[in-house]
Copies of this chain bind each other. A is one copy, B any other.
Amino acid sequence: MPTEEDSNQYAEASMPNIEAEVDLEDSHRYPESNSLNQPLLKRNRTLSTNPLAIVGSKVSHIESLDYEINENDLFKQDWRSRSKVQVLQYIFLKWTLACLVGLLTGLIATFINLAVENIAGYKLLAVVGYIQEKRYIAGLVYLTASNFLLTLIAAILCVCFAPTAAGPGIPEIKAYLNGVDTPNMFGATVLIVKIFGSIGAVAAGLDLGKEGPLVHIGSCIASLLGQGGPDNHRIKWRWLRYFNNDRDRRDIITCGAASGVCAAFRAPVGGVLFALEEVATWWRSALLWRSFFSTAVVVVVLRAFMEICNSGECGLFGKGGLIMFDVSGVTVKYRAMDIIPVVVIGIIGGVLGSLYNHLLHKVLRLYNLINQKGKLHKLLLSLSVSLFTSACLYGLPFLAKCTPCNSSLPESACPTNGRSGNFKQFNCPEGYYNDLATLLLTTNDDAVRNIFSTGTSSEYHPFSLLIFFTLYCILGLITFGIAVPSGLFLPIILMGSAYGRLLGVAMGSHTSIDQGLFAVLGAASLMAGSMRMTVSLCVIFLELTNNLLLLPITMIVLLIAKTVGDSFNPSIYEIILHLKGLPFLDANPEPWMRNFTVGELADAKPPVIALCGIEKVSHVVDILKNTTHNAFPVVDDGVVPPVGLADGATALHGLILRAHLVQVLKKKWFLREKRSTEEWEVREKFTSVDLAERDGKIEEVAVTSDEMEMYIDLHPLTNTTPYTVVESMSVAKAMVLFRQVGLRHLLIVPKYQAAGVPPVVGILTRQDLRSYNILSAFPHLARSKSREKGN
């Protein structure tokens, strides 16, 4: 692994022609830039117009989403023609979709849980059988082979069918809801691979969770439902067309993400708050309620399923089920002096969390190098991690000493040989248990349950906890980047609970807080230290533990851990977003953006390409072929302003989308002479369904040379109400506007009013407003960047 210094040198060496355009191939060639301050993709030092990002370890062209309402004549007509019944139909459908999202997410979560518990359960039972027969080598071989096989299935699915299904998917969902469309993220293939890949990877005993993937699964379901099925086999129901826009898709995907978190933790309020705090960029009160409805459906489904399973019809999936740690029966007691260990846990969580982020960042960069080399390398990497994990899980418990069972403990069975149970016998004689095997030779969920267990203060030897902690630190770093669906929640919970419990053991009788609660607090602190979520995490832990009395100390821990972590580096999701080069727009503008105007920014870009209200076909084709812009301002020349003195004025008519221009060319809606059209002419030709179509390519359109000489009236298809800023606006405020209203294009109008001044002086896109891009194009700004801004 190259050191930071090395990689910096390399980065400089590999970038001799700073001004050169970097295209897809180039960025494939130089992905090795390892500086921690740069994303994996190189960009040239002008404002990027060709946005690239790494999606599923492949460099893809990404597009922004259009959350703005495109108010052109046709839209207004369509909207006006909607009857009351249609509006009710639309509202009803929205709620139905929210309900379906919850229902399906709940069912799939149930299926994943059942599959994982049964596969892993029978696997572990067999291993325990071998150990009881003292056939240790056979046990090792059996465990390693079955884990290898499960990992192989998961990895092959991911590598061959849906590379975007690897990893947690949460950063991409975050980016999507921020307004970045990452290709192939929400398809049917991804959904299926994610489900089965997640089952394989979790059942294989890898150090990863099903929580992150469940969030992605929820979003996939939502996206598929919203668009009426997979890309190739969409249901073309008439009323589904209302949902064929980025706005409604965003809303439903938010519901899906909330449902996913809810399904992962059985935390309905926590799920909604997670979507609100961590994922969603925009939020409305109505959406809050709809996503809450989705999560309630999930909870009902999970509850029904647990009722069924309690009667023993779910194989090895026993009672207790999804909730990992219910301490509602435990009386939480703490004294004023207990604040000290609580603060210590918070600080440790913050430090370790940011350290974990830092190291994981480096590992991900290294893995990226390996993954770039091809599918085989990806597979081999995943399988080596699986082999290492199996060997450690099986071998390490032999290091632990056998502990005699304590009959005073509430747990009745000791030692336990079944799959679940808190006192695993492993290699110990009757009446003794192996505490490390209790934590390692079990599913991750059970491991968490065991380490969280209360009233078992002398169960774990500090040495065992230390081994457990060290092992999961290593596994947590090396497992996340491999090509299988993997969540970050569980590895972090395992790591955190270990040091939490260790601290509890160290405190001994100096505290009245139970060791199990220490483990919970440790897990919470590391989550806050790495992911920097606060409110949603707090509520998730509240719902997980089902005990309100824990709330105040949980909050203190989270607050401290987040504050400490924030002083070192950004959250792990932000690091991944930056690493992948996804153009995520932050909530708060950088301080230097206040001293920098959009006019200066626009000067650094190529001049705006504007269209006339009635434009020649050849010109339109020309522009579409030679640019990649997704929207063009429409300007009328020689109009007479109602209040002005001079005629010959120019006027800003609005903004037309590339997709709509392509539609016009496809439908060959040309005029022989240069004239305005009536509304009915447009309505005859176009429906709003046509305009919702965004996939048209200019290359697919054939225009004859006769047609080239004809005209198009762009007025009816132009969005007449684009948001604008005056050129003297600061970038900071423009960014606030851009993000708050959910824009894709922001027009810059001149501050001067005179003949000859063009009515539009620039267009800003998401890429132009990202501080990284601006600082690349204007290096002098970076100097003032050192100054911090008050929150």
Contacts and interface: CB of A to CB of B under 8 A. Distances in A.
Nearest to A654: B728
Interface stretch (A33-41, A532-540, A772-780): A532-540
A666 interface: no
Interface in A212-257: 242
Given A283-B283, A535-B288, A791-B286, A726 B749 contact: yes
Interface in A35-81: 69, 71, 76, 79-80
Q: Please give me the 3 A-B residue pairs with the lowest Cβ-Cβ distance, nearest first.
A: A649-B754, A645-B756, A641-B752
Contacts of A740: 740-741
A317 to B, nearest CB: 20
A403 B79 CA distance: 63
A104 interface: no
A623 interface: no
Given A269-B539, A285-B587, 19 more contacts: A82-B790, A242-B790, A289-B562, A292-B534, A292-B538, A293-B559, A641-B750, A645-B756, A649-B753, A651-B752, A652-B751, A653-B751, A721-B730, A736-B741, A740-B741, A751-B759, A753-B754, A753-B755, A753-B759
A552 B296 contact: yes
B288 A641 contact: no
24 contacts: A71-B594, A76-B595, A80-B595, A87-B790, A269-B269, A285-B587, A288-B534, A289-B559, A292-B534, A296-B551, A296-B552, A641-B752, A643-B750, A643-B757, A644-B755, A645-B754, A651-B753, A652-B726, A652-B728, A652-B753, A721-B730, A723-B729, A740-B741, A753-B753
Most central of A639, A647, A756 by chain B CB within 10 Å: A756
B737 A723 contact: yes
A702 interface: no
Given A654-B728, A725-B723, A272 B752 contact: no
A503 B709 CA distance: 77
B651 A751 contact: yes
A605 to B, nearest CB: 14
A90 interface: yes
A412 interface: no
Given A587-B285, A645-B756, A756-B644, A552 B303 contact: yes
A542 B649 CA distance: 63
Contacts of A538: 269, 292
A721 B749 contact: no
A594 B79 contact: yes
Given A721-B730, A790-B90, A292 B755 contact: no
Interface of A: 69, 71, 76, 79-80, 82, 84, 87, 90-91, 94, 242, 268-269, 272, 276-277, 283-286, 288-289, 292-293, 296, 299-300, 303, 328, 534-535, 538-539, 542-543, 546, 548, 551-552, 555-556, 559, 562, 587, 591, 594-595, 597, 639, 641, 643-654, 720-726, 728-730, 733, 736-737, 740-741, 749-759, 761, 787-791
Nearest to A726: B724
Contacts of A755: 644-646, 753-755
B552 A292 contact: no
A163 to B, nearest CB: 31
Contact of A753 (B726, B733, B750): B750
A116 to B, nearest CB: 24
A279 B175 CA distance: 28
Contacts of A289: 534-535, 559, 562
Contacts of A591: 79
Most central of A76, A300, A644 by chain B CB within 10 Å: A644
Nearest to A542: B269
Contact of A741 (B552, B597, B737): B737
Contacts of A736: 741
Contacts of A328: 328
B644 A757 contact: yes
B754 A644 contact: yes
A643 to B, nearest CB: 7
Contacts of A645: 754-756
Contacts of A722: 726
Nearest to A731: B721
A591 to B, nearest CB: 8
Contacts of A300: 552
Most central of A555, A639, A722, A788 by chain B CB within 10 Å: A555
A459 to B, nearest CB: 27
Contacts of A750: 641, 643, 753
Nearest to A784: B80
Given A539-B269, A594-B79, A648 B754 contact: yes
A220 to B, nearest CB: 25
A274 to B, nearest CB: 12
A279 to B, nearest CB: 11
Contacts of A82: 790
Given A752-B641, A753-B651, A754-B648, A87 B285 contact: no
Contacts of A754: 641, 644-650, 753-755
A723 B272 CA distance: 33
A789 B641 contact: no
Most central of A84, A651, A751 by chain B CB within 10 Å: A751
B733 A721 contact: yes
A276 B749 CA distance: 35
Contact of A555 (B296, B726, B729): B296
Contacts of A647: 754
A737 B787 CA distance: 30
Contact of A757 (B594, B753, B758, B789): B753
Given A535-B288, A759-B753, A730 B71 contact: yes
Contacts of A242: 790
Nearest to A282: B740
A295 to B, nearest CB: 9
Given A90-B790, A752-B650, A543 B552 contact: no
Most central of A269, A726, A736, A752 by chain B CB within 10 Å: A752
Contacts of A71: 594, 730, 733
A752 B653 CA distance: 9
A597 B740 CA distance: 21
A286 B533 CA distance: 10
A293 B641 contact: no
